[in-house]
Structure formats: C-alpha cells, structure tokens
Structure 1
Amino acid sequence: MQEVGMKQLDEQLQTQTIACLYLYTPMCGTCQLAKRMLEVVEQLFPHIPFYQADINYMPERAIEWKIESVPCLLLFHDGTIRQKLYAFHSVLHLYETIQTVEKHR
C-alpha cells in the first residue's frame, strides 16, 4: 500500500477508475491487524491501487467523508466513495467486498 497525503490522493483518485483507501492512526492496535489483512487482499487485486493515509493528517477529509472511526477502508469508483468498511471481519470478507464494488463499476 502506498502512503498518500491529501494532494497526492486527489490526483490519484482523478486518474483511477477504482481505488481502495485505508485510513488509520498510528496508535490504533486494531488498525495494525486490519493493515495485515489488507496486505493479503491487495495481492489478490494487483490491478487495483491500494493507498493508505493517517487520518490525523486529513481532518478536513474525515469530516467531508463522515469517517466515524478507524480502521476504515474506503472503496472509490470514479472518484466517488462507493463503500465504507469499518469492520474488517476476515480476509475473505474484505475480498468479497472489494470484488462486489469492482463488479458494479
């Protein structure tokens, strides 16, 4: 997963049909576990860009996107959020969720 800031993220989302953004905070233990699961799922979708960002550096976006907690996975299609995921139940659950968004593009 590529670490991105707001400006870089905006540029990337304008050029990608589908993209995943993982939001976290460094002191969040659950976020570390979620990241490990996402790293596995990322390997299953080599054609989809996966980004990560520390939400502490994006307070405006946290408000705009109505982020309720971390970890959070945002699935974008044509620059628009198609799904928000807060519960990272399993690798299979993440895989199926991303696959569903990908199929409906």
Structure 2
Amino acid sequence: MEEITKEELIELFENREVHFIYLYTPLCGTCQMASKMLEVTETILSIKIYKKDLNYIPEHAMNWGVQSVPALIILKEQKIIEKVFAFGSVENIISIINEHQNS
C-alpha cells in the first residue's frame, strides 16, 4: 500500500474513478492486522489501495463521518460510496472491493 500526502488525498477526491483509501493510526493494533489483510487483498486483486494516517487529517475524518479506525473509504465519482469499519477477513474485503469495481 502506498502512503499518500494530504494533497494527493484531495486529488483522489477530484478524480471520478473508484479509489480505495485505508485510514489508520500507527498505535492501533487492529489497524496493523487490517493493514496486512489489505496488503494481501491488494496483491490478489492487483489493485492500488492508498493509506493515510488519520492523525494528519482529523478535519477530513470529521467531515467524512469516520468514527473509528481501521477504516476503508471507497470513493467513486468524487463521493464516498461506502465506509468499511469491520474488515472481518480477506475474503470479505475482496467481496466488498469487487462489488464496487464491477458496478
């Protein structure tokens, strides 16, 4: 996964394509486990998942309604179309991502 800057994050919102953004905090144990699951997902599906430390974008988290981490934000046509907080398993994440890539 590629760590992005605040400016790059804003650019993703200006793009009309589907993007997957993983929000985390470094000291979150669940985030570390979720990160590993997303890395596997990224490899299996040959997609790009971007990541951003939520500590650096608190104003965006509030505006987006992100109440906890880990969180996977799915963007499409300049809008958040889904927020995933419970990852469950790699299979579950793959299913969620496939649903949005094929719609």
Task: Give TM class, smaller chain.
Answer: over 0.9
1:8-37 CA distance string (max 9 Å, x none): 111134335111000000000000000000
Write out the 4+ residue segments of structure 1 that deviate beyond 4 Å after TM superposition.
none
1:47-91 CA distance string (max 9 Å, x none): x43100000000110111010100000111122111100001000
Matching of residues 38-77 of structure 1 within 5 Å: 38-46=38-46, 48-77=47-76
> What TM-score comes out, normalization by structure 2 length?
0.93
Q: Structure 2 stretches of 5 or more lacking a match?
A: none
Counting aligned pairs with the same residue, the percent is 39
Partner of 1:35: 35
CA distance in 1, matches of 2:43, 2:100: 17
> Once the 2 structures are TM-superposed, how far is the Cα of residue 44 of structure 1 from its aligned partner?
2.5
Q: What is the root-mean-square deviation of aligned Cα atoms in Å?
A: 1.2
Partner of 2:97: 98
CA distance in 1, matches of 2:81, 2:15: 16
Q: Structure 1 stretches of 5 or more lacking a match?
A: none
Partner of 1:25: 25
